[in-house]
Copies of this chain bind each other. A is one copy, B any other.
């Protein structure tokens, strides 16, 4: 399987994406982070997933400091960020509660902050982080137009949107939304159940998958369902002659015809390589369904 996927005529991402929501937990010095970035690029992973709020608004700056040590790497990578969530932390002392904001002014402000923090002059892709009950698509369209025309953001998308939410926003935009980043894994079938998968296929949207390993809970199974999943992964891994069940979890996502781009959130290069190696694994249809059935807890109807 190829390690790049075109989301549209202007944007290709690496099939496996490196995600930085836990960057602060990694405790890396700037040179150590630079080294990790270089190793990741060597694996063919060229797309890097950020958000303004990761690490209480600090992860992008950490990444930017490492990148500044070797700025020419920017040309080899696609930088993705998100905005719209406003945390009720010391960063926003005026907020009593977490809110979402999608005013034109705020979207532009946060995109520009991401540029500054990442140390780059453009984002390849900017996502709206979550759908919001208070949402004005005209404001979003205005922000996207400005960011596009000023050359600050090349492509736009959303995250965690339903089909209707996607469709409604799309109707206000001249350009097609490039992707919808959603939670997809063998333990999270929500976007099959809400029919996002079919919606993506209809509109030829390739979804990015966050939490593709289900937060790690299957590695140490507790619930009956986690035990079922752990057991079937072990079985399929044995059939394929491989050790690592995380590879089977990635392969299950990669096998799906919709074209899923998993985001790997690890600092360990061997774990990241495991995801890339999964591109070479081809599950049989029966293996794919055995995992589906273990997740659902019942046979197909």
Contacts and interface: CB of A to CB of B under 8 A. Distances in A.
Given A165-B195, A168-B201, A289-B134, A300 B257 contact: no
A299 B95 CA distance: 13
A135 B133 CA distance: 31
Interface string A266-282: 00000000000000000
Given A97-B299, A290-B97, A192 B285 contact: no
B285 A99 contact: yes
A195 B167 CA distance: 11
- Counting every copy of the chain, the complex holds 3
Contacts of A97: 286, 289-290, 293, 299-300
Contact of A101 (B101, B138, B285): B285
Contacts of A299: 97-98
Contacts of A290: 96-97
A290 B95 CA distance: 10
A97 B160 CA distance: 32
Contact of A135 (B98, B257, B286): B257
Interface string A95-110: 1111111000000000
Interface in A180-195: 189, 192, 195
A165 B198 contact: yes
B137 A300 contact: no
Interface in A124-165: 130, 133-139, 160, 162-165
Nearest to A131: B198
Given A97-B300, A160-B301, 12 more contacts: A94-B286, A96-B286, A97-B293, A98-B299, A99-B285, A130-B301, A133-B189, A134-B285, A136-B257, A164-B199, A167-B202, A168-B199
A250 interface: no
Nearest to A160: B301
